[in-house]
Structure 1
Amino acid sequence: MIRKRLEELEERTLQEGACLASASRGRLKLQEESPSRTCFMRDRDRIIHSKAFRRLKHKTQVFLSPEGDHYRTRLTHTLEVSQISRTVARGLRLNEDLTEAIALGHDLGHTAFGHAGERALGEVVPGGFAHNEQSLRVVDRLEKGGEGLNLTMEVRDGILCHTGKKKADTMEGRIVHYADRIAYLNHDIDDAIRGDILSPQDIPASLRRVLGQTHSQRIDTLVNGLLTYGEEEGEIGLPPLLEEAMLEMRDFMFRHVYQNPRAKGEERKGQWVLTQLYRHFSENADDLPTDYMQIALQEGAERAACDYVAGMTDRFAVDVFSRLYIPQSWNK
């Protein structure tokens, strides 16, 4: 059987501490194994074929509805995280399939309008809102008409723990935590330069000396740092100098890009759209699509409204808002 051969290959080639497919803690619901794919390969494929994954192409990363063709979206961010994660996993002889599945699924629950949308829902949803928790809900509950994707425990844990204080249980999940930061800091710099928000010389000279002068140099430095640290320490992390530099770069980006009125001037409008949509559907559950009406009956209208609004793309949210609140032309 092909799956057995693949599992035996993992056992022979992966380092001690890697998460083997044959040792997975299993799924929430028992399911017959695939004859041709390991459990983590199967999870990766399920995520790629999900509706939530396809919607990422129309969700904002940093710049709302950019006109240029080369700005990142939530989907291209996800692919960059996946590429970095796989490079590190392969270099450290960890489970590349598990790492890829976590990376591809880590942002499935992200809202429209980037982190501004996440903050908007966080202010109105009872108990708050966090995109990593919503990503887990997407794969557990919302996909496949309410059946969920029934992913392995290891992939679920990596998705939930890619951000926040709790570390993932697996080394593969911890790779995605770092790959996510490496990807977004560097591609957000690239997009900010493209949008004339930054110039390369605006980046502090001290950071350029440590991390590199160009986009590719900075990614190369941080990826090699992860690989070096992993080989020497047997754990996922960065050497102290690079860890400090990455944190300084994050602070720089918050001051000059993430809170820049030129780059983020439209965010307030996006937040208003999501806030109004959430309030409307939590008060008018009969207006929800059928699948979400079922959630409202089982878990309450507020939960259903959150799930529906969080899953919207930028343009779909604007379309629904317009249909609800903007007078339509008479065309009869």
Structure 2
Amino acid sequence: MSDPIFASIGLGRSTLASFASDPAQSRGRLFPEPGSPTRTPFQRDRDRIVHSTAFRRLKHKTQVFVAYEGDHFRTRLTHTIEVSQIARAFARALRLDEDLTEAIALVHDFGHTPFGHAGERALHRCMAPYGGFDHNAQSLRIVTALERRYAEFDGLNLSFETLEGLVKHNGPMLGPYATWHEEVPRPILEFDARYPLDLERFATLEAQAAAISDDIAYNTHDLDDGLRAGLIELDDLAELELAGTILSEVRAKYPGLDEARTVHEIMRRHITRMVEDVIASTLRRLREDGIETAEDVRNAKRTLLCFSPEMEELAARTKRFLFARVYRSEGVSRVMTRAEGVVEDLFRRYVAEPSQMHGAWSLEVESLDEARLTRRVSDYLSGMTDSYAVSEHCRLFDDTPELR
């Protein structure tokens, strides 16, 4: 901060806990850049993420229900904003770096395909001979290579801590404490060889806050959307100990309350119970494990920011309920099966006729071997919004299924 006019701006860590990530101690970026006099590295990361093309596309990507089914269901963008809000609540309560926490929360779903997990399943099958497809690895590709906006580098050139959080927010991918039990996706290994992300160690508490916030958001809000869609009824929540208990409390406190307000009262209490449980559990683990620094967090032998065992079980029951009653319901499954077919059709056509891809995607394809061509097609397809994928299918095929 060489300009004295900015001397009064506080970019330090005076209010942060000792185990929080210190922006002044960031490990930097793959391509070195001069610091900003008005923003920390993590604030710059957050801003680059929000202004990216990939962030805007989240508005038109499926969370659970495709957009044609109604305007009030969540999209990837609204889900991402909800995750960010919950994650910032954790950062505020635990005195973590809120900007890093928000950056990781905002970028965590960049790599999702059109049509949510259905599109990912289809693209993974198509890419199986070439290393497969993983949305987390694709998020990394987007922010390190595919976003092309800056004069001096490809990608967003995010700080080490944000990239680390993006890749490892669910835990280490290698080593004795790995939480990833499959083959590490090839794009992650390739980037790690170029810019090591310490795949055998835990990420920061800021990354862990983003990860648990994702669980809280979809466990709660997919219940809400399931109710909106008529796949579950309010009384069905009685099957769940957490939501059912809250339902009873709301009905006892507000007899005769209309259903819309009842649902909202349940959902906001649902989030609050889970958030308060995580804060208490995390403080307990930090104390038990003697965590004092950010390096202690990375060297820990377990996730530190997490549910209590009791809440973990309640969350698992909610997830099983959602799979049975919402995600695998006849209506949702029928639409998602059709959506998988759309993605597979497009993949095969683009591989056979790369010139059908628009813009620079179809340039110099004759120089690409099969593996690189399919990866380019995968990159192109995964970046599509739901509506663009459908319009492309209509352009290239005579019979496009109705996704409703």
TM-score where L is the length of structure 1: 0.92
Give the corresponding residue for 1:282: 351
Asked if 1:183 corresponds to 2:217, the answer is yes
Find the partner of 2:159 among 152, 155, 164.
152
Give the corresponding residue for 2:392: 320
Shift, 1:200, TM fit: 2.2
Contact 1:211 1:242 in 2 (8 A): no
Give the corresponding residue for 2:110: 108
Asked if 1:307 corresponds to 2:314, the answer is no
Contact 1:3 1:36 in 2 (8 A): no
Shift, 1:158, TM fit: 1.4
Name structure 2 gaps, 5 residues minimum: 172-178, 181-200, 249-265, 287-303
> Greater shift after overlay, 29-38 or 83-92?
29-38
Supply the AA of the counterpart residue of 2:390. Answer: V
Supply the AA of the counterpart residue of 1:160. Answer: V
Distance in 1 between residues matched to 2:7 and 2:232, nearest whole Å? 49
3-state secondary structure, aligned to 1:265: helix
Contact 2:242 2:270 in 1 (8 A): no
Shift, 1:287, TM fit: 2.5
Supply the AA of the counterpart residue of 1:62. Answer: V
> Greater shift after overlay, 130-139 or 200-209?
200-209
Contact 1:113 1:267 in 2 (8 A): yes
Shift, 1:211, TM fit: 6.5
Find the partner of 2:169 among 136, 159, 162.
162
Supply the AA of the counterpart residue of 2:20. Answer: A
Supply the AA of the counterpart residue of 1:122. Answer: H
Supply the AA of the counterpart residue of 2:243. Answer: R
| Count of matched residue positions in the alignment of Structure 1 and Structure 2 | 326
C-alpha change, 1:238 and 1:51, in structure 2 (3 Å) is: same
Give the corresponding residue for 1:225: 277
Asked if 1:96 corresponds to 2:98, the answer is yes
Shift, 1:212, TM fit: 6.3
Distance in 2 between residues matched to 1:324 and 1:151, nearest whole Å? 37
Shift, 1:268, TM fit: 1.1
> Greater shift after overlay, 223-232 or 154-163?
154-163
Asked if 1:260 corresponds to 2:260, the answer is no
Give the corresponding residue for 1:216: 268
Give the corresponding residue for 1:134: 138
| Cα offsets for 1:17-46 (capped at 9, x unmatched) | 111111111111111111211000000000
Give the corresponding residue for 2:340: 271
Distance in 1 between residues matched to 2:203 and 2:91, nearest whole Å? 15
Contact 1:122 1:129 in 2 (8 A): yes
Give the corresponding residue for 2:17: 15
Shift, 1:279, TM fit: 1.4
Give the corresponding residue for 1:36: 38
Q: Which has more helix, going by share of residues?
A: 1
Contact 2:240 2:317 in 1 (8 A): no
Distance in 2 between residues matched to 1:79 and 1:91, nearest whole Å? 19
| Cα offsets for 1:69-117 (capped at 9, x unmatched) | 2110000000000000000111100010000000010111100001111
Contact 2:281 2:308 in 1 (8 A): yes
C-alpha change, 1:295 and 1:179, in structure 2 (3 Å) is: farther
TM-score where L is the length of structure 2: 0.76
C-alpha change, 1:327 and 1:223, in structure 2 (3 Å) is: closer
Identity level (%): 41
| Cα offsets for 1:158-200 (capped at 9, x unmatched) | 1122347357511100111100011011111100100100112
Distance in 1 between residues matched to 2:285 and 2:349, nearest whole Å? 52
3-state secondary structure, aligned to 1:316: helix
Supply the AA of the counterpart residue of 1:221. Answer: R
Give the corresponding residue for 1:50: 52
Supply the AA of the counterpart residue of 1:49. Answer: H
Supply the AA of the counterpart residue of 1:217. Answer: R
Give the corresponding residue for 1:243: 312
Larger radius of gyration: 2
> Greater shift after overlay, 189-198 or 285-294?
285-294
Distance in 2 between residues matched to 1:81 and 1:140, nearest whole Å? 23
C-alpha change, 1:212 and 1:181, in structure 2 (3 Å) is: farther
> Greater shift after overlay, 255-264 or 97-106?
255-264
